[in-house]
Amino acid sequence: MLNLASVLDYSTSENPDKAAIIFGEQKITFSQLNTFCCKIANGLVAAGVGKGDKVVISCLNLPYFPMVYYAILKAGAVVVPISVLSKSREIAYYLKDCDAKAFFCFQGTPELPMGEYG
């Protein structure tokens, strides 16, 4: 079954040196993006994330977002994006409600739920 990660694989094979992400002066090629995504995906799989597992992501509009987004898909998991403006109690609710296996956030704070919510 194909998912959006296959689009990244195709774009990488067709245009490996073309810019996939431009963020200010920073340019990330399709080849670099795919490499980053594969490393993150491998880490997810090593941590026990697999097909159909839900992975929550809360990230600003930065290059990290597509890297993690595609990595989750490459691991066979389901992306559950949430707002970076979510409060800790809301995040705890989302994590529990979707039965998240993992959570990526741009910047952690002491207020974030760290497992005490189930």
Ordered by where they begin, the domains of the chain are 4-105 (3.40.50.980)
- For residue 61, pLDDT beyond 70: yes
C-beta neighbour count of 83 within 10 angstroms? 10
In angstroms, what is the C-alpha Rg of the chain? 15
- For residue 32, pLDDT beyond 90: yes
Q: How many residues does the chain have?
A: 118
- Residue 117: predicted pLDDT: 44
Q: How confident is the model at residue 42 (pLDDT cuts 50, 70, 90)?
A: very high
